Amino acid sequence: MSLTEIVAVKILFAILFAIIYWMWARSSYQESTAAVGRAVSAAACLLLLVHGWRVQKYRKECVDEMAEQNLRRCDAICLTILTAVSCLIALVGGTFAHIYASAAYLMGWSIVITMIFLAVLRTVLFLLMDKEGV
């Protein structure tokens, strides 16, 4: 069990959340897509339980302090990006909410896409920093 695996699983969580959000945000109802939504939700819950168990197992092993420090740096960078993007989404969404009725729908998808982007960016940054030994 390595810290890289724990960080990389967050991409899968972000993608599963995007699928679940798509199931909730869609306007048409079909029984087949509802069944897919329930299956994806169950898989996400199972993955969350397994991931929690693996994180506990990782914490019992010896900790790589350099990797932990790199992960904190990646989290700080991603938090800064998230703050800027969230402010931009709120500003643009608030501005266009008076003009377009679908601004809330676009804001929701912007947030979900930002989550996926940040999960991938966090993993890539962590891999680069861990490889370079920064």
Mean pLDDT, residues 105-112: 88
- Tell me which residue of 127, 107, 109, 131 sits closest to 18, measured CA to CA: 109
CB-based contact 41:34 (threshold 8 Å): no
pLDDT score at 22: 84
Lowest mean pLDDT among 29-33, 85-89, 105-109: 29-33
Mean pLDDT over all residues of the chain?
86
- Tell me which residue of 77, 67, 70 sits closest to 3, measured CA to CA: 67
Residues of the chain with pLDDT > 90: what percent?
Answer: 33
- Tell me which residue of 115, 102, 108 sits closest to 90, measured CA to CA: 108
